[in-house]
């Protein structure tokens, strides 16, 4: 009995073939993507010896990511989501090919890294909300928490395996094989997605083009939905101020006097903690005060990052990053579940697009913030100040957005509007006064 309440629920993989196909395909390609996540900043730092330049790569990704997310989420509400996912995965593969070809040259240039990374971010902005919308339609309402937890297991497996493998491959073979392995990984996801049944968007019969006003419809829906607003803001706070990812190359090579393997360990450590946290998420379905749980998890993240900036020993630093990763995954499961249960199907792609923009755009802003502060005051000051600002932000949000701090899952469960969603047993719960709540990490 206790075991079932502690370990992650694997029921969605057993019961829903569509979800199983999607999950299986993304395991491999997400590991491949994490190879590139390590290789790009490592290559930029090796070329320029500047953490600021590493942060600027993330800045170059930000606008394409935001545009891709908002436009892609709108398209996902109107077309066959399976075909859109196939297209986005193929385009993502092409950007990895560009990075690999640049690394193959005798004198790799900096500008192709910026261009390919920016395009990759834009295509990811389409891929993320489309994939999330398919997940919601692939399982029933009671299985969404379990599906989110399993997706976190997938992502954290990739965050461990990808960076660790990247460190080994970089140290022994160099950059070229890292990028080409990423390219090869897309074959698996494309094969699995091609086997999915068609997944039409809720507005697929609407022949009108998705104008800018329709894109903004998802943002307008957030007006008056304090819980949704708070979840997005909580994640932005944690990622912008408390994400020292851009400093890992400098910390690994300079502060801890290591090499590519040490850099890979720093990138992998949050994933190790998050994987353990994700595997032990059987208890989250019983938590009713979900808003308070998110705030507590993000506070743990801020404390761990602050301490990470203070410790001089690699082992302790890796342990603190693992604690931060475990806290982040708990927050992510709750936030993703709130959004997926509350958003109406005709807006799901657009609201998932906002989530994708927050989840993937926040760390990029964090990279820039960390790089700028590090260039002015040093890496240690950058990490510690970011962690402290994250804690201040959590306290401010808890005070300014009291509906989120007191939010209980029972609010969503008791105000059910049958038929507001499509798919198996899909119903739209109600939320705050005009309507609802929401996000990840």
Model pLDDT, residue 212:
53
Of residues 238 and 9, the one with the higher pLDDT is: 238
Residue 206 domain flag: no
Residue 21 domain flag: yes
Taking the C-alpha atoms of 177, 179, 183 and 186 in order, what is their torsion angle to the nearest 10 degrees? 110
Q: Helix, strand, coil: what percent of the chain each, to 5?
A: 80, 0, 20
Model pLDDT, residue 400:
86
Checking if the pLDDT of 222 tops 80, the result is no
Per-residue HEC secondary structure of 198-220 comes to CCECCCCCCCCCCCHHHHHHHHH
CA distance 59 to 350: 23
Burial class of residue 72 (count of CB atoms within 10 Å of its CB; 0-12, 13-18, 19+): buried
CA distance 165 to 309: 25
Residue 221 domain flag: yes
Let me know: does 151 contact 23? Beta carbons within 8 Å. yes
Q: Is 206 strand, coil or helix? A: coil
Tell me the backbone φ, ψ of residue 139, rounded to 5 degrees.
-130, 165
Let me know: does 290 contact 9? Beta carbons within 8 Å. no
Confidence of residue 135 (pLDDT cuts 50, 70, 90): confident
Q: What CATH number is given to the structural domain containing 82?
A: 1.20.1250.20
Confidence of residue 96 (pLDDT cuts 50, 70, 90): very high
Confidence of residue 104 (pLDDT cuts 50, 70, 90): confident
Of residues 416 and 350, the one with the higher pLDDT is: 350
Helix (H) or strand (E) holding 211: none
Residue 372 domain flag: yes
Residue 2 domain flag: no
Tell me the backbone φ, ψ of residue 326, rounded to 5 degrees.
-65, -40
Report the DSSP beta bridge partners of residue 80.
200
Number of domains in the chain: 1
Checking if the pLDDT of 177 tops 70, the result is yes
Checking if the pLDDT of 50 tops 60, the result is yes
Model pLDDT, residue 419:
35
Average pLDDT score over residue span 40-65: 84
Structure confidence by residue, pLDDT tens digits, 8-19: 778 888 899 999
For the chain, the distance separating the N- and C-terminal CA atoms, rounded to the nearest angstrom, is 30
Residue 385 domain flag: yes
Tell me the backbone φ, ψ of residue 198, rounded to 5 degrees.
-55, 145
Domain that holds residue 368: 11-198+214-429
Residue 362 domain flag: yes
Model pLDDT, residue 344:
64
Residue 437 domain flag: no
């Amino acid at each position: 009995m206790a075991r079932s309440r502690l370990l992650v629920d694997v029921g969605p993989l057993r019961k829903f073939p569509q979800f199983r196909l999607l999950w299986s395909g993304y395991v491999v390609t997400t590991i491949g993507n994490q190879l590139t996540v390590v290789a790009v900043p490592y290559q930029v730092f090796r070329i320029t010896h500047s953490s600021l330049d590493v942060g600027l790569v993330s800045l170059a990704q930000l606008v394409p990511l935001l545009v891709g997310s908002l436009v892609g989420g709108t398209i996902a509400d109107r077309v066959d989501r399976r075909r859109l996912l196939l297209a986005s995965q193929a385009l993502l593969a092409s950007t990895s090919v560009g990075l690999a070809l640049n690394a193959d040259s005798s004198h790799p240039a900096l500008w192709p890294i910026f261009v390919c990374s920016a395009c990759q971010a834009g295509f990811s902005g389409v891929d993320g909300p489309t994939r999330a919308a398919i997940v919601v339609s692939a399982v029933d309402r009671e299985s969404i928490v379990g599906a989110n937890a399993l997706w976190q297991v997938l992502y954290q497996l990739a965050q461990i395996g990808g960076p660790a493998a990247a460190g080994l491959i970089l140290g022994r073979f160099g950059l070229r094989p890292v990028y080409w392995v990423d390219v090869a990984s897309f074959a698996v996801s494309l094969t699995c997605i091609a086997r999915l049944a068609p997944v039409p968007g809720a507005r697929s019969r609407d022949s009108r083009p998705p104008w800018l006003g329709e894109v903004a419809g998802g943002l307008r829906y957030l007006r008056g939905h304090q819980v949704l607003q708070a979840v997005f803001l909580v994640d932005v706070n944690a990622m912008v101020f408390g994400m020292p990812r851009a400093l890992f190359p400098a910390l690994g090579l300079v502060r801890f006097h290591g090499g590519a393997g040490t850099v890979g360990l720093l990138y992998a450590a949050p994933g190790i903690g998050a994987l353990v946290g994700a595997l032990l998420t059987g208890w989250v379905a019983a938590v009713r005060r979900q808003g308070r749980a998110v705030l507590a998890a993000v506070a743990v993240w801020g404390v761990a990052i602050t301490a990470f900036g203070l410790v001089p020993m690699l082992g302790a630093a890796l342990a603190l990053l693992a604690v931060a990763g475990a806290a982040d995954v708990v927050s992510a499961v709750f936030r993703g579940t709130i959004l997926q249960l509350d958003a109406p199907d005709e807006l799901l792609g657009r609201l998932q697009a906002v989530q994708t923009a927050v989840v993937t755009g926040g760390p990029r802003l964090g990279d820039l913030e960390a790089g700028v502060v590090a260039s002015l005051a040093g890496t240690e000051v950058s990490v510690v100040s970011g962690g402290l600002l994250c804690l201040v932000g959590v306290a401010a949000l808890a005070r300014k957005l009291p509906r989120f701090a007191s939010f209980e899952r029972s609010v969503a469960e008791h105000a059910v509007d049958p038929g507001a969603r499509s798919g198996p047993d899909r119903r739209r719960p109600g939320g705050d006064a005009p309507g609802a709540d929401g996000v990840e990490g």
